[in-house]
Homo-oligomer: A and B are copies of this chain.
Amino acid sequence: MAERILTYSEALNEALREEMHRDPSVFLMGEDLCTWGDEGGVFGVTKGLANEFGTERVRDTPISEQGFVAMGVGAAITGMRPVVELMYGDFLALAMEPLVNQAAKIRYMFGGQVGVPLVVRTNLGASGGKAAQHSQSLEAWLMHVPGLKVVVPRTPADAKGLLTTAIRDDNPVVFLEHKLLYFTKGPVPLGEHVVPLGRAATVRPGSHLTIVGTHVMVDRALEAAAELFDEGIDVEVIDLRTLVPLDIETIVSSVERTTRLLICHESVERAGWAGEVAMEVMKHAFDALDAPIGRVCGKNVPVPYSESLEPLVVPQAAEIAAAARALLAGVELSLPALTG
């Protein structure tokens, strides 16, 4: 299929545009979607869409997060497919009631009478000193809510393909972007591009250790892997792409080969989702494990502002590499023969 190089933000924009063309029930709501910056959207995701589709279908809202997310739920149960944006992921804290008590439960609690085809888009991650209230990664909360799906695209192609799938999904999907990824570039297929939910991507094959992560943690793991390779350590890196559903098969079959697992997430360590992956891996492949499952995660502190502190609380490549080394300490390793 034909591809072009787009930014992650442009890829998201393309998915929105194409789905809005395809399906008149898709519409957008959120703050500053229409005229902010260069034709809309704090990160440019809705650029040009208000001009193209009108402000009926691309709606600037007041600052009323709980209210407009709840309205998304109400519209979703009456025939529409709303895509609602929260400007920052930290504002999920304001919208948990409609997301958790309404959207996630409506299908079940009403005995399957209706679905909730709602997408709530927002972003995670620390970036450039946004500090404690604009840097949180709260995906674990959402994973813990039956009825929600949780998507975490990393590449521009996945951004497009997964957002397309999310919009077509008949369930509430929380679509979590990452601030540091919006302006990264990559090839993106032209036209319809659909990436199924629940399929992880093995972005680097390796034989000694498996690292799973999402978003920028995958990039940092790849950085660490390159460094480790020079030391004779061959790391496999898996980008989960979606957290609910979770592609446990891909992880388990990797771990069965490598016998070691390191899980990386930017969200804070305590009660983060590393434990979820670990429990599932233990359940399916405990005997394959030659070392404790490790994790490198955000530290158990709020995100500080200063440039001298912020990087300390978010996992960096060096920390991932060190953790990988520790899991392999004392193990005799051989690199795979260079075939293929």
Contacts and interface: CB of A to CB of B under 8 A. Distances in A.
Interface stretch (A74-82, A201-209, A287-295): A287-295
Contact of A274 (B146, B272, B279, B304): B279
Interface in A79-95: 90, 92-94
Contacts of A244: 270
A282 interface: yes
B100 A268 contact: no
A317 interface: no
Nearest to A137: B144
A140 B144 contact: yes
A276 B271 contact: yes
Contact of A302 (B109, B274, B286): B109
Contacts of A292: 282-283, 286
A131 interface: yes
Contact of A275 (B100, B145, B275): B275
Interface in A85-118: 90, 92-94, 96-97, 99-101, 104-105, 108-109
Interface string A277-310: 1110011001000011111000111101000000
A254 interface: no
Given A94-B97, A282-B278, A292-B286, A146 B273 contact: no
Contacts of A278: 275, 278-279, 282
A199 to B, nearest CB: 18
A143 B270 contact: yes
Nearest to A291: B286
B93 A101 contact: yes
A293 B282 CA distance: 7
B109 A132 contact: yes
Given A109-B133, A146-B268, 4 more contacts: A90-B101, A109-B131, A140-B271, A270-B276
A40 interface: no
A286 B97 CA distance: 39
Given A275-B275, A275-B278, A293-B282, A301 B101 contact: no
